[in-house]
Chain A
């Protein structure tokens, strides 16, 4: 059985995932994630010695294409959905450098 997740574990994961999570969510997720992970423990019963991983199903595709310039999204279109448009062709974000 998996060791139960603590609220501290949940806070650490939330930080990695860029999620704020309030106290109630931390408590709820600690309990629900522990239950789901406990269920996932059954994978340990499967002998996978020498078994390759499957990252993607199906045939390998050829992801390379000729390196030819082509049109991409126009700047105005790319900026049109910005929640905080900046001056000129910029996205506005909170101050990053002191």
Chain B
């Protein structure tokens, strides 16, 4: 096994056995970041000093901590997740210099599990975007093709794992922000069931849709990180008790007898190379004993308009807190207008980027008097129909498969002048958020021009086990993760 294939499990085992130290592993990944990140811009902050100190501490206490599930494993954290005392900006100027006074619950749980947080990763501002171009830190580049986006909004978290700058990362997914960049960068990304992972310490974007989840090279690694961060948290009233996932009943994954539903009508018009990779992936699963069934999801096409009314509406409310009073950036005012209202408006004008302003405007409009019923309430009713489609389908099948995205990664700048075109690319990912269902994206090969393609699997609420089982069964025959991108080494 080469350094490039190091998995979370390998690294943990190597630290526990004493084959290497947490400090050596930490230094290895910090060196990789120092070499490759100037080309990728995946990180907004590299926490070299705190990571090294933490790794040294782990090495000193190895015998006491040896049963910790992520002992000495470096993890990258999307910059919308609070890390105490270190900058957390959500890729926004309005949070410039903000150092949270507390850790997100997922960060505390990772640290309790022995993980080493190596850095914060770039994202679209407040996770609004599908390309990681809308960041005050500039765009992140796709490790497979530097003139292409890594997807978004968790593009930095995905690029970092794909380029082997960290063996795993945690990110957030509001409409596909974990799964789409995972697909574009050729890694695994999980959007857990709504309520399965605490969101305490996540910069809120759309509270009925946001979910935190893991990204890693393999399905087993994704599950290992998921197992650490899942579970009820008294600090997040939407988190739910659902029992603990027993990974020993999941791995090695089996596909035998699993009924896979495929909504064929929805797949018309997707990119040919994506369609081809998807069909090959289904063949692989069929050969392992799964059965494929045609299903109908009649309202899934309405997912985009529903999502792009509901998410901006919730965002316009959640982002009202950024007003220049308590934290972050405050604008300098003109001498002739120093009112409180002017301070709010100027701070938000200068602090937010174009995409965030566009969505705040859209959401404010959808919630405003005279439009609330026609747009916001109507969207929430159609959302119920989308959910009913899935409920019906899951009476017949165990999982639903789709490509994660209708196209492979697009070029940097390709959709910047046309927000709607960018939004339409989220067609296969938004419904998991609207319904709360869990969904995973796993690498399913490459286009002829060597851009990764993702296979998305969805399952019933709180049935992440089925996703891991099936995705792992697929991965046993399709080890795409072993191919590494041509980043500078």
Residues on A lying within 8 angstroms of B by beta carbon are: 9-10, 13-14, 16-22, 25, 29, 32-33, 35-37, 39-40, 42-44, 46, 48, 51-59, 61, 63, 65, 73-74, 77-78, 80-84, 91, 93-96
Contact = CB atoms under 8 A, between A and B. Distances in A.
24 contacts: A16-B364, A18-B320, A18-B348, A19-B357, A20-B348, A33-B361, A33-B365, A39-B305, A39-B420, A42-B305, A43-B302, A43-B305, A43-B375, A51-B384, A52-B384, A55-B380, A56-B194, A59-B461, A61-B238, A77-B101, A81-B327, A83-B330, A94-B338, A95-B338
Nearest to A48: B381
Nearest to A58: B436
Given A20-B345, A39-B305, A58-B194, 9 more contacts: A9-B365, A20-B348, A36-B423, A43-B375, A46-B385, A48-B378, A74-B101, A83-B324, A83-B330
A13 B46 CA distance: 39
Contacts of A65: 234
Contacts of A35: 420
Contacts of B302: 42-43, 46
A19 B361 contact: yes
Nearest to A47: B385
**In this complex, which of A16, A44, A54, A95 has the most chain B Cβ atoms within 10 angstroms of its Cβ?**
A54
Contacts of A51: 381-382, 384-385
Nearest to B383: A54
Interface in B350-397: 352, 354, 357-358, 360-362, 364-365, 368, 375, 377-385, 387
A94 B340 CA distance: 5
Nearest to A96: B340
Given A81-B98, A81-B327, A17 B340 contact: no
B59 to A, nearest CB: 30
A33 B371 CA distance: 14
Contact of B349 (A20, A37, A58, A93): A20
B420 A29 contact: no
B324 A37 contact: no
Interface string B211-236: 00000000000000000000000100
A33 B333 CA distance: 29
A46 B374 CA distance: 12
Contacts, number: 170
Interface in B300-352: 302, 304-306, 308-309, 316, 320, 323-330, 333, 338-346, 348-349, 352
B194 A83 contact: no
B240 A59 contact: yes
A21 B362 CA distance: 14
Contacts of A33: 358, 361-362, 365
B345 A19 contact: yes
A70 B327 CA distance: 24
B239 interface: yes
Contacts of B320: 18
B420 A61 contact: no
Contacts of A93: 325, 340, 343
B203 to A, nearest CB: 13
Nearest to B236: A61
B114 to A, nearest CB: 26
B325 A91 contact: yes
A48 B385 contact: yes
Nearest to A15: B345
B169 interface: no
A96 B348 CA distance: 19
Contact of A91 (B97, B326, B379): B326
B194 A43 contact: no
Nearest to A18: B344
B259 interface: no
Interface in B69-112: 97-99, 101-102
A56 B387 CA distance: 11
A81 B328 CA distance: 7
A14 B344 CA distance: 12
B420 A36 contact: yes
Nearest to B384: A54
Nearest to A83: B330
B193 interface: yes
Contacts of A80: 99, 101
B387 A57 contact: yes
B361 A17 contact: yes
Contacts of B176: none
A56 B208 contact: yes
B39 interface: no
A5 to B, nearest CB: 8
A40 B375 contact: yes
A20 B317 CA distance: 17
B167 to A, nearest CB: 31
Per CB-CB distance, the 6 closest pairs between chain A and chain B, nearest first, are A57-B436, A81-B327, A20-B349, A83-B330, A77-B101, A53-B380
Contacts of B419: 32, 36
B32 interface: no
B420 A21 contact: no
B198 interface: no
